[in-house]
Structure 1
Amino acid sequence: MTNRDDELNEAIRALGQLFLAKLPAKLSEIESATQRFQNAPDDRENFALLHRSLHTMAGSAGTFGFPEMGAQARTLEMQLKAYVSGEVWNEDTVKAFCQQVTDYLNFAESQMSAASSAVKLDSIVLNEPVESKEKKLIYLVNSSGEVSDEIVQQLEQFTFLVQHIEHLQDLEPALQTQIPNVLIIDTDFDSVYLAGSNEVQRLSEAGFALPPTIFISDTNSFASRLHAVRAGGQAFLLKPVDFLVLTERIEEILARDYPRLYRVMIIDDDVELAQYYSEILKGVGMLTEVLNDPELVLEQMASFRPELILMDVYMPNCDGVELSKVIRQDPSYLDIPIIFLSSENDLRKQIAAVKVGADDFLSKPISPELLISSLSSRADRYRALRSLVMRDGLTGLYNHTAIKEDLIAKVSSATRDVTSVSVAMLDLDDFKKVNDTYGHQIGDQVLRTLSHLLRQRLRKSDVVGRYGGEEFVVIFPNTTADIARQVLEKIRVAFNKIMHVSGQGEFSVGFSAGVADSRQTMNPDDLLLIADAALYRAKHSGKNQVLEGN
């Protein structure tokens, strides 16, 4: 079990103990509401309180290790719901129901006593990979030559550690020594048809734990591609290898191993339960914001910008159905997935919730695995759809509008947290000459290469956008301008070493950049102007350099 697993389980145990500590007060609330219900069955405010208390217990007790307590509460909740919905109860029926609640309270108290100070929660092991700061190891299995040397040189500019294996028989002992993050191998090693893919297939059948494999080949045939698939290949690239496509494939493969940092807002008046779900989601790398007061939802959404909302149906003052309508009134929130999580199991209620704008309905208690899977699939779909609107079609980076919106949000966040945010403006040097000399297709390749290098070299929290033409913007949260300049300087040197291939030969390109930070101004537009002025100075004092704004 990892340290992260230990931290998660410790947080869950603490929440379970908090649930136990508050349980007497919750049971006392149910007892008082039940007595008032028996004396005044027509008191709508009171039976709404009783229903909500039973509903909360039905959802939270099972989550915190008391499944029978939760199941019995759900049964009582369903009976009371029938009364609320218009079922006629006479005095004896009301009395019988209140006796069932009393029996339930006695059972719950016995369960609480038996639990003592130990919370009956199973350990949750979430073996998600933690991003490593080390360079990713790549085996390149290809006969020696200038092409192999070039592949090694280009990949190393993208911070990969490349080990070149020049003889096919050396692959097995290399794998016995260390498994790389990615294996790149020539399908027809040393011009022997399918020699490379046959060797990979042999090693797989021999029980080797092979890494994700990319095949490169001179032969663009269905047979070669099919054989590569059967050997476990995850990509197939033709020679001469397009280095940008190769690095993009490697990044796509490596990205599958990391948690996707979805932003999830949890809205529930049950504080401990909301915090429990938050800990589960944070345990797999999601970013969460817990909200216990529905009235603050619009304010919190504006600052947190969630990619998914998880909310309970029953809350005081404003229920989940009403809250979803409030959220949907804002056009900018029409596409954010809303998932109801509730102990409500009435199909009609669930359908009604979906009709007013919810995207799914999950039942409490829910297993961590199902919760994570359900939310991940919805958030992933939302992110993919948003990308179509917010991303530049050529580079895949944020477009002009999206990067400016993100800068506004980052500056606002920095103001609240009293931290610094930096912004940089980059511009490719002599890019018109590149297009005029080598053609716009090669120019597009240069743009894609820089965008890919920026994404690969920067932190996950940094944001990159194509501002227009050959101009880019980078936002560095919690970073001062001098640190941002040092980061960009390293990227500038690496980019300058990358050789771009064209029909007229190879060439390299540089870029100039200007950097500013929020210590100079908290106005996003002014921050861009300062960075742009620094970029102008960099361009007119020699190019291919990074300067800080004044």
Structure 2
Amino acid sequence: MKILLVDDDQYLNQQLSKSLKAHNYVVDIATDGESGWNYIESFEYSLVILDIMLPKLNGIALCRKLRSHNYQMPVLLLTARDSCEDKVLGLDAGADDYLVKPIRAEELIARMRALLRRATISLPPVIHWGDLTLNPAKCEISYQKSVLPLTPKEYGLMELFIRSPYRVFSYDSIIEHLWSIEEPAADNTVRAHIKSLRNKLKDAGGDPKLIENVYGIGYRIKSLDDGSFSHQYSSLNRPPLSVDETVTEIWAKIKDKTIARVESIQAIAMANSQDLNDENNPRQYAYIEAHKLAGSLGTFGYGRGSEIARKIEYLLAGEQPLDTDKQTQIEKLTEDLLKELKKTPAKPQIKEMKKHPKTTVQSLLIVDHDTILGEQIIREAHSRGLEARLAPGVGIARAMMVEYQPSIILLELNFPKPEEDGLMLLEDIAYHHPEIPVVIFSRRSSFIDRLTVCRLGSRAFLQKPMSSHQIVEIVTGILNNNTITGTIIAINDDPQILELLEALLCPLGLEVKTLNTPRKFWQVLEISNPDLLIIDVEMPHYNGIDLCQVIRNEPRWRYLPILVLTNHTDPETRAELFRAGADDFISKPVVGPELIARLFSRLHRSRLWRNIAEIDTLTGIENRYKSTEDINRLIRIAGRHKQPLCFAILDLDNFKDINDQYGHDTGDWVLHRFGEVLKKAFRQEDIVGRWGGEEFAVAMYGTYKQDAMKRLQKVLEEWRLEVLVPEDHIAFSVTFSGGVAQYPEDGHDLQLLYRVADANLDQAKQGGRNQIIG
């Protein structure tokens, strides 16, 4: 655990630090109150030890500041004053305990242990995790009653893992918990301690894999199969009811079917069919069923059941008939498995997962004394359907936030009044409303400013000057990234896994399409245009490695994230998966929080790449490369299903005159606004893209030319009536012309359709513009 000691007595600091480190605490030292506050802002501490008589900011004031900013860690006050009034003053300031100097290290450490126990909701003095026992009073960890010879850092690692057994700790998190800033550590240092810890577990007769490496995330302690753990958790560590209830509900529905599957495996094994390579052979069915059970039972709390099923799968493999010994083993294993399934499943503790929020009008609070710029941003925000308000000062912003909680805040750091400081407001937001993203927009640009706002949780740092549409573009991008949505295709021959994936992911705002066979995969892939794939390695007809190779062989799908589920964690299989094109894999049984963390990480990266490679940054719609690719896909689907498709080319009228008269910045603003109008005007399944300059392309699937003309005419009427007011307040209107072609009557491919639509566009321009010709 990490302790902050704030005292200006250097000799006492040295002695206490030495004693605390000997008891495996990590200690940071500050010699004045302001430094202590800076440490607390920058790092996470389990406990703070404060002297009362401190320079710059005394211990009582610092304690009050801690509590006013909602810091909940225990605070122990040290002082040479022993009067009743001083003790009352300290405790009323928010301290948890009070110790009078001179102090004995033994008493200090005993009081610290008591405070830390209370801070973690009455954790028992001795904690058991399987064969491991953690005794905080003695700073000892035992394996099967044999004390492990651990260094202080190794003890700290084990204590960290045992106290939070279902949390995955990243390298940065481990370093922050176990190393002080005077002794910085690197990832290699953590790996070296993990290796040493595993070796000592092995020497004691334990499993070196008890410390698990969660690929790409960090380390955790291996979960228990029987769920036996004496640790009583706080509500923060309990599983969210939605996921827990979902898993329980699914198991209740499939329990009887699962037991029947085990019984059928037992019967088939006893019949001892001859040819395993015949896919219609009963023994082949039994082998596949055992494989599925090995991968899914652990997900529902039957870790030992997965192990038994894997042994059955191994015995059923091979081409030779089962001998008597194997039959006997399978019979015994299936009986054990049936007994196991009649037990109550273990319910692993999992971290809280947020549900996808309901759709509401998003709002922006602008905190800036520049009211002219603020009004420009408000107009731009309203044009995008974003509610916005302006607070010209920090005090007004605080008052507005009481009754109006925004979705995002745009904050200036500098204000004319010296008592108003944007950084102070940012501190308040970080501590009291950390869920609200904050974008800094200021002329200040020093590295210290950027580092400070990053530490306080700012999501972006924008430097003035910048146009209002660029600002709102960034703001809306951050809002959209707060809630990832998308389409996922899951392919698995185990219906239980598919049902679980749907139950876990759909409440998070994701659309999940499931396939129990890869035979229809390519057809579904083209129709769905997914954001991510979840595939199993072992499936009938085509395995996961085959699918990865086929997907990566198609240029369009080379960057589609692929998450692989597998029973095989050996290095050879991993290497083969990555060579085939997989991005990540999860070992079965599937653990909900790990799956969601990996999946959302991949979706975030995929969205970032797609925005860079496929979206026109000025208009916010697809660029020519991406829209051409998608239109060709729609044409193939239309041909397959005998459906019509209309293709249109749109061109803003007299656009060169706008650039010449108002300037290119205004011209860019018009293009941006037109892109927004087109996005709102067409369906999600339609394709809208910018093809260069002021030319745009639209493809409407399942639409005949007459209906397409009506839709485009309606867009034109709305656009010509829109009064455009850029930042220089000069109002004007713009029209556009369009040409339409229909598949397959006007052409069987995009090139032919473009020629017909472009000819109709020329006719519309020659006829006076401001019209649609088809």
Task: Encode CA deviations 1:214-236: one digit per residue, 9 max, x unaligned.
Answer: 33335555565556556654334
- Which residue number corresponds to residue 188 of structure 1? 414
- 1:377 aligns to 2:604 (yes or no): no
Which amino acid counterpart does residue 470 of structure 1 have in structure 2? Answer: E
- The code of the aligned residue for 1:130 comes to P
Q: Which residue of 2 aligns with 1:69?
A: 305
Report the CA distance between 1:499 and its aligned residue. 0.8
CA distance in 1, matches of 2:716, 2:409: 29
**Amino acid in structure 2 at the alignment position of 1:292:** N
* 1:153 alignment counterpart: 379
Q: Larger deviation: 174-183 or 424-433?
A: 424-433
Structure 2: where are the runs of 5+ without partners? 1-239
Distance 1:77 1:447, change over 3 A: same
Shift, 1:417, TM fit: 8.9
**1:176 equivalent in structure 2:** 402
Matched, 1:132 2:359: yes
Instruction: Describe the shift of the 1:330–1:25 C-alpha distance in structure 2 as closer, same or farther (beyond 3 A).
Output: farther
> 1:357 and 1:426, CA in 2 relative to 1: closer, same or farther beyond 3 A?
same
Counterpart of 1:108 in structure 2 is 337
Using the alignment, how far apart are the partners of 1:213 and 1:323 within structure 2?
Answer: 42
CA contact (8 A) 2:716 2:736 kept: no
3-state secondary structure, aligned to 2:485? coil
2:695 is aligned with 1:466: no
Equivalent residues in 2 for 1:78-477 (5 A)? 78=314, 94-111=323-340, 126-130=353-357, 132-134=359-361, 136-143=362-369, 145-189=371-415, 191-192=416-417, 195-201=420-426, 203-204=428-429, 207=432, 211-219=436-444, 225=450, 228-229=453-454, 232-261=457-486, 263-328=487-552, 330=554, 332-385=556-609, 389-392=613-616, 395=619, 397-410=621-634, 425-437=649-661, 443-444=667-668, 446-451=670-675, 463-474=687-698
- 1:441-483 per-residue CA deviation (whole Å, 9 max, x = no partner) reads 6644543454356558877666431122211234567896556
Aligned match of 2:96: none
Q: Alpha-carbon deviation of 1:159?
A: 2.2
1:253 and 1:121, CA in 2 relative to 1: closer, same or farther beyond 3 A?
same
Cα distance in 1 for residues equivalent to 2:712 and 2:391: 37
Closer/same/farther in 2, CA of residues 211 and 318 from structure 1, 3 Å limit: closer
Output aligned runs, 1:465-504, within 5 Å: 465-474=689-698, 481=708, 486=714, 496-501=723-728
Computing the radius of gyration over CA atoms, which structure comes out larger, 1 or 2?
2
- What's 1:35 paired with? 270
Q: 1:522-537 to 2 correspondence within 5 Å?
A: 525=750
Q: Is the 1:151–1:243 Cα contact (8 Å) retained in structure 2? A: yes
The TM-score, its normalising length taken from structure 1, stands at 0.77
Identity of matched residues, %:
25
User: Which amino acid counterpart does residue 27 of structure 1 have in structure 2?
Assistant: V
Q: Is the 8 A contact 1:407 1:524 kept in 2?
A: no
2:739 and 2:759 in contact (8 A); partners too: no
Deviation at 1:97, TM superposition (A): 3.3
Conserved? CA contact 2:484–2:604, under 8 Å: no
CA distance 1:234–1:311, change in 2 (3 Å): closer
Partners of 1:460 and 1:130 in 2: how far apart? Answer: 21
CA contact (8 A) 2:296 2:590 kept: no
Give the whole-Å Cα distance in 2 for the aligned partners of 1:311 and 1:372. Answer: 15
**Equivalents in 1 of 2:343, 2:689: separation in Å?**
58
Contact 2:351 2:593 in 1 (8 A): no
Partner of residue 219, structure 2: none
For the 8 Å contact 2:739–2:764, the answer to whether it is kept is no
Q: State the secondary structure of the residue aligned to 1:283.
A: helix
- The code of the aligned residue for 2:537 comes to V
**1:301: Cα distance to partner?**
2.7
1:406 offset after TM fit, Å? 1.9
The DSSP-based 3-state class of the residue aligned with 1:361 is strand
The question of whether the paired residues in 1 share the 8 Å contact of 2:643 and 2:702 is answered with yes
Q: CA deviation at 1:197?
A: 0.9
**Residue 9 of structure 1 contacts residue 124 of structure 1 at CA under 8 Å; is this kept in 2?**
no
Report the Cα distance in structure 1 between the residues aligned to 2:579 and 2:373, rounded to whole angstroms.
59
Deviation readout 1:27-70 (Å, 9 max, x if unpaired): 24312332244x75x85546654432221111122234533322
**Considering only aligned residues, what root-mean-square deviation do their CA atoms show, in Å?**
4.6
The one-letter code sitting in structure 2 at the alignment partner of 1:160 is: L
Q: CA deviation at 1:187?
A: 2.5
Give how far 1:167 is off: 4.4
Q: Are the structure 2 counterparts of residues 370 and 386 from structure 1 closer, same or farther at C-alpha, using a change threshold of 3 Å?
A: same
Further displaced range: 452-461 or 136-145:
452-461
1:424-449 deviation digits (Å, cap 9, x = unpaired): 64422322123444565664454345
CA–CA distance in 2 between the matches of 1:265 and 1:302? Answer: 11
Shift of 1:277: 1.9
Query: C-alpha displacement at 1:345, in angstroms?
Result: 3.7
Q: Distance in 2 between matches of 1:164 and 1:158?
A: 17
Aligned-pair CA distance for 1:491: 6.1
Distance in 2, Cα, partners of 1:56 & 1:247: 49
| 2:394–2:422 Cα contact (<8 Å) kept | no
Superimposed CA distance per residue, residues 248-297 of structure 1 (whole angstroms, 9 cap, x where no aligned partner)? 12112211222231x33222222332233234333323333322233333
Q: 1:56 maps to what in 2?
A: 292
How far off its partner does 1:512 sit? Answer: 1.8
Residues in 1 aligned to 2:753 and 2:321: alpha-carbon distance in whole angstroms: 71
User: Do the aligned partners of residues 231 and 103 (structure 1) sit closer, same or farther apart at CA in structure 2, a change above 3 Å counting?
Assistant: closer
CA contact (8 A) 1:35 1:98 kept: yes
SS at match of 1:303: helix
Q: How far is the alpha carbon of 1:174 from its aligned partner?
A: 1.1
Larger helix share, 1 or 2: 1
| Contact 2:265–2:290 (Cα < 8 Å) also in 1 | yes
Select which of 19, 22, 36 maps to 2:257. 22
Q: Summarize deviations over 1:320-368 as a string: whole Å, max 9, x none.
A: 3344445455454444444331223444333334334433332111112
Which of structures 1 and 2 has the larger relative contact order (alpha carbons within 8 angstroms, sep 6+)? Answer: 1
Q: Secondary structure at 1:195's aligned position in 2?
A: coil
Aligned residue-pair number: 526
Q: Secondary structure at the match of 1:497?
A: coil
TM-score, normalising length: structure 2: 0.57
Match of 2:471, SS? helix
8 Å CA contact retained: 2:380, 2:469:
no
* Distance in 2 between residues matched to 1:361 and 1:32, nearest whole Å: 34
